[in-house]
A = this chain, B = another copy of it.
Amino acid sequence: MFYLIGLGLFDEKDVTVRGMEVIKNCSRVYLESYTSILMVGKERLEAFYGREIILADRDMVETESDAILEGAAQQDVALLIVGDPLGATTHTDIILRAREMHIPTQVVHNASIMNAVGATGLQLYNFGQAVSIPFWTENWKPDSWLARIEENYKLGLHTLVLLDIKVKEQSEENLLRGRKLYEPPRYMSPTVALSQIISAIETARSTSSESSAITLSSEGSLAITLSRVGSSTQKLVAGTLAELASQPQETFGDPLHAMVVVGKRLHPLEIDYAGVWAVDRESWVRVAREVYGVKD
């Protein structure tokens, strides 16, 4: 059997009891190490699970998956994935490959940011499509994600915004010289995400025609940032986009971060609930009432 096991949000204890049992009984255990990252190292996982763990980078999972699947028709092999195996990044290609090889598969689900964003107190029902914001460079500033946030926002829906993670990236120089040297991991901070969002809104406002007018605004749209969801140091911060953008970076807590652009389909209790995290509670309530039209 080939198992895909979700490790959950934060550390070695977020695995489920079922997942833990499977890990202990597998002949080989891989850890997918490129799309997301637990806040603890491989060694701590190995000590806790009592198993050697093989790190599987993107090449291994995407192009050398046969090595992972080898023998899985006869023995049990597990691939561990932070969050849920079919969450933000699906691992359907390796399952399709297993099917071709007549290897049975089983998924052990777990929490991922896709549902743990409920930590904001916002009803998960009222989230629209999720978006990912990539790091902008000097010459590359993609902003198609803004149209998706706006699609949700026009319907009154919230948007989960996932922030870019750069793991095992090569510098241009190392890439050109074919040197397999990697940069240290980079996690997009809410500060960078907010500045890109506000800049994209401004560009859209200055270029869009009336019919495609953007209704998001830095002063009138609410957001909640999340840091280390599911850990004991979890930190949330709420405010308008502009208010949040003006906070010093340390306000938002340590990586990993995510963010929610709050839609208008809000219950007064949700405003209350998130109000404790507001950088300016009065302004939070005022925008919710006056701009969003939330009634008490």
Contact = CB atoms under 8 A, between A and B. Distances in A.
Interface in A260-281: 269-270, 272-273, 276
Contacts of A269: 92-93, 96
Interface in A114-135: 114-116, 118-119, 121, 123-132
Interface stretch (A105-113, A178-186, A245-253): A105-113
Interface stretch (A14-22, A59-67, A199-207): A14-22
A222 interface: no
Contact of A13 (B21, B86, B119, B273): B21
A118 B232 contact: no
A60 to B, nearest CB: 19
Given A110-B111, A273-B96, A87 B17 contact: no
A272 B96 CA distance: 8
A276 B17 CA distance: 30
Given A96-B269, A121-B90, A128-B128, A115 B84 contact: yes
- The oligomer's copy count stands at 2
A239 B231 CA distance: 40
Given A84-B115, A106-B232, A109-B116, A123 B272 contact: no
Main secondary structure of the interface of A (DSSP, over half): mixed
A140 to B, nearest CB: 21
B124 A87 contact: yes
A155 B152 CA distance: 9
Contacts of A152: 128
Contacts of A126: 129
Interface in A123-163: 123-132, 151-152, 155, 157
A238 interface: no
A88 interface: yes
A6 B111 contact: yes
A121 B106 contact: no
A87 B123 CA distance: 8
A9 interface: yes
A99 interface: yes
Nearest to A151: B155
A15 B17 CA distance: 6
Interface of A: 6, 8-9, 12-18, 20-21, 84-88, 90, 92-93, 95-96, 99, 106-112, 114-116, 118-119, 121, 123-132, 151-152, 155, 157, 229-230, 232, 269-270, 272-273, 276
